[in-house]
Amino acid sequence: MASQVFPELPTPSSLLSAYASMSTSIMLFRTMFNQLFPRELRRYVVDAVRFYWKPKSSKLTLVFDEKDGMTANHMFDAAEAFLCTRINPNSDRLRITKSVKETHINIKFADSEEIADSFEGIPVSWRYVRQPPQNRNGDGDDFDYSMGKSSPGRGFSLEKRYIELKFDKKYKEIIITSYLPWIVKRSQELEDQKKVVKLRNLQSYGGGPGGYKESVNLDHPSTFETLAMDPKMKKMIIDDLNLFLRRKDFYKKVGKAWKRGYLLYGPPGTGKSSLIAAIANYLKFDIYDLQLSNVGGDSSLKKLMLQTSNRSILVIEDIDCSIQLPDRKGIAPAKFPDAKPGRDPMFTLSGLLNFIDGLWSCCGDERIIIFTTNHKERLDPALLRPGRMDMHIHMSYLTVDGFETLAANYLNVHNQHWRFREIKELIKCKKVTPAEVAEELMKSEDADEVLEGLVRFLKRKKMEEDESEDGVDNEVHETKKAKVIS
């Protein structure tokens, strides 16, 4: 009766015998499978079994590879930059990076570290994965069914890095259409905050058709706050730049290239270079300096333009005296007395105009072109029309507001100093540049001594200019008198 309720358990020897028989059968089946079926068919069968036996999951995983073929994957970079702001203070492992030219330390999450995030109440998880280099053969890896993995072959695979994003499948549309674009926008904001503006020099190979660019960090500290410029002019420039930045869709709708042209003109020393640096620091745009005297021809000019990137400023300084451009008919103008010596240009004004607003100007977005000149009247009218130079900015002599900015920057002295009234009257009377006054303000750390020296400088300059004007008046009078006598 007891044997019917509790059946007799198998003995250890019978279990061992059954296991040995099953192992032998599996080994025999594997041997026959490997011998009778080609390798491609074996791989297909194994993949099919894995696919149908794999348990279905409600989770969807998006993979952001570091490379898309041979090019960098922007989504990988954007996700990595964004995730640096989501690092958990309790993380056990972090990656620390810093390049030679960077001034800050980058903190990133390490291999296999997971970061939890949420978007509109949807929980998501991120994981960074790094696959070390592996051996492989040229025809593909052989699958070792006894080990359950690929066997090493000939060749060597590169290291692979990617980021995984996992979330519930039912939120796929929201994640792809809203979460990912938001990450791209956020990463761009983070990049702009820490970006180091570069100054790049565009040059041709000995005047030939090719080109190369040298770059250094733009360490120029000029900002709109430190510029000795009329406040209304500053505001007008800042408003114009902000309007330009947010009108990408507008430019596309009206069929215009997304670019803006500025002409800075005025006497030397009025702050044209400082304004360019202030614009670059404000926008976080790299500067490309183009020396027209080094350009070999129209084709070289086009190739140099292809060296520039989006979100950049192209600067052509002193265009009136750096080179004597032939007009659109190929006729070179007479050289001006202060023109810089050099070889005759090998490109035409038509080539330069096509470079500014022709078909070649569409080879990039969000670009600013700045020309500077001391003599606006010397430029061909074709360069000055709207669409090429959209905004003409006159860099005038120092104003009262400009002096107050310089005094605050250099001496930390504001409008309460007793010398200010006299200095302002002298500035109103005579033409003095911001560069001249700035040089005087740097001669001492004692504000009283510096301002006293500035008063002497302005009085001396006023006297010299009065004498010069009297000399000119006397010369004109003598000339008129001679004409009357004759």
Decide if 10 is inside a domain. no
The letter for the amino acid at 485 is: I
Q: What is the pLDDT of residues 287-341, one digit of tens each?
A: 998 887 777 677 777 777 777 888 899 898 887 765 555 554 544 555 555 555 5
Task: State the CATH number of the domain containing residue 303.
Answer: 3.40.50.300
Instruction: Of 53-67, 385-399, 434-448, give the lowest mean pLDDT range.
Output: 53-67
Decide if 448 is inside a domain. yes
| Winning range, highest mean pLDDT, from 86-95, 149-158, 220-229 | 220-229
C-beta neighbour count of 349 within 10 angstroms: 19
Q: Let me know the angle formed at the C-alpha of 158 by 155 and 163, rounded to the nearest 5 degrees.
A: 145
Distance (Å, rounded) from C-alpha 276 to C-alpha 279? 5
- 155, 176, 194 — which closes off a domain? 194
Backbone angles phi, psi at 133, to 5 degrees: -60, 145
Domain identity same for 242 and 257: yes
Domain identity same for 292 and 354: yes
Contact predicate 426/455, CB 8 Å: yes
Distance (Å, rounded) from C-alpha 439 to C-alpha 97? 42
Provide DSSP, 363-397.
Answer: SSSSEEEEEEES-GGGS-HHHHSTTTS-EEEE--S
More confident residue, 320 or 252: 252
pLDDT of residue 174: 94
- Residue 149, pLDDT above cutoff 60: no
Domain identity same for 367 and 233: yes
Instruction: Of 41-55, 224-238, 311-325, 374-388, give the lowest mean pLDDT range.
Output: 41-55
- pLDDT-based confidence at 144, cuts 50/70/90? very low
- Residue 27, pLDDT above cutoff 70: yes
Count, residues in the chain: 486
More confident residue, 485 or 461: 461
Q: What mean pLDDT comes out for the span 142-149?
A: 42
- 138, 160, 194 — which closes off a domain? 194
Domain identity same for 57 and 82: yes
Decide if 220 is inside a domain. yes
More confident residue, 203 or 3: 203
Domain identity same for 442 and 334: no
More confident residue, 427 or 341: 427
- pLDDT-based confidence at 6, cuts 50/70/90? low
pLDDT of residue 239: 95
Distance (Å, rounded) from C-alpha 280 to C-alpha 277? 5
| Winning range, highest mean pLDDT, from 337-341, 380-384, 387-391, 456-460 | 456-460
Domain identity same for 214 and 340: yes
Distance (Å, rounded) from C-alpha 408 to C-alpha 417? 11
Q: What is the pLDDT of residues 385-408, one digit of tens each?
A: 777 788 999 998 998 899 989 999
Q: Could you tell me if residue 221 is left (phi over 0), alpha (psi between -120 and 50 degrees) or otherwise beta?
A: alpha
Distance (Å, rounded) from C-alpha 483 to C-alpha 480? 5
Instruction: Of 131-145, 158-172, 182-196, 382-396, give the lowest mean pLDDT range.
Output: 131-145
Q: What mean pLDDT comes out for the span 34-40?
A: 73
Instruction: Of 106-110, 220-224, 237-241, give the lowest mean pLDDT range.
Output: 106-110
Name the residue among 269, 274, 270, 260 with its Cα closest to residue 221. 274
pLDDT of residue 182: 94
Contact predicate 320/340, CB 8 Å: no
pLDDT of residue 15: 72
Instruction: Of 46-50, 111-115, 168-172, 194-198, give the lowest mean pLDDT range.
Output: 46-50
- Residue 61, pLDDT above cutoff 60: yes
- Residue 171, pLDDT above cutoff 90: yes
* DSSP 3-state of 305: helix
Decide if 11 is inside a domain. no
pLDDT of residue 90: 73
pTM score: 0.63
Backbone angles phi, psi at 424, to 5 degrees: -65, -40
Provide DSSP, 211-230.
Answer: -EEEEEE------TTT--S-
Domain identity same for 214 and 124: no
pLDDT of residue 360: 58
Provide DSSP, 120-175.
Answer: TTEEEEEEEEEEPP-B--TT-PEEETTTTEEEP-SSBPPPEEEEEEEEEGGGHHHI
Decide if 16 is inside a domain. no
Q: What is the DSSP letter of 282?
A: H
Full residue range of the structural domain in which residue 411 is found: 400-485
C-beta neighbour count of 172 within 10 angstroms: 12
Decide if 298 is inside a domain. yes
Domain identity same for 203 and 349: yes
Nearest-10 crossing angle of helices 400-411, 434-441: 30
Domain identity same for 253 and 285: yes
More confident residue, 138 or 161: 161
Integer Rg of the chain from CA:
36
Instruction: Of 54-58, 87-91, 128-132, 325-329, give the lowest mean pLDDT range.
Output: 325-329
Contact predicate 198/286, CB 8 Å: yes
Domain identity same for 289 and 216: yes
* Residues in Cβ contact with 166 at an 8 Å cutoff, skipping those fewer than 6 apart: 59, 60, 61, 62, 124, 125, 126, 127
- Residue 222, pLDDT above cutoff 60: yes
Q: Could you tell me if residue 163 is left (phi over 0), alpha (psi between -120 and 50 degrees) or otherwise beta?
A: beta
* Residues in Cβ contact with 391 at an 8 Å cutoff, skipping those fewer than 6 apart: 237, 240, 260, 261, 262, 263
Decide if 18 is inside a domain. no
| Winning range, highest mean pLDDT, from 42-46, 236-240, 452-456 | 236-240
- 194, 210, 228 — which closes off a domain? 194
- Expressed in percent and rounded to 5, the helix, strand and coil fractions of the chain are 45, 20, 35
Give me the number of domains the chain comprises.
3
Domain identity same for 282 and 300: yes
Provide DSSP, 14-70.
Answer: HHHHHHHHHHHHHHHHHHHHHHHS-HHHHHHHHHHHHHHHSPP-SEEEEEEESEETT
Maximum distance among all alpha carbons in the chain?
157
Domain identity same for 202 and 350: yes
The letter for the amino acid at 131 is: Q
Decide if 24 is inside a domain. no
Distance (Å, rounded) from C-alpha 218 to C-alpha 283? 13
- Per the prediction, the chain carries an average pLDDT of 77
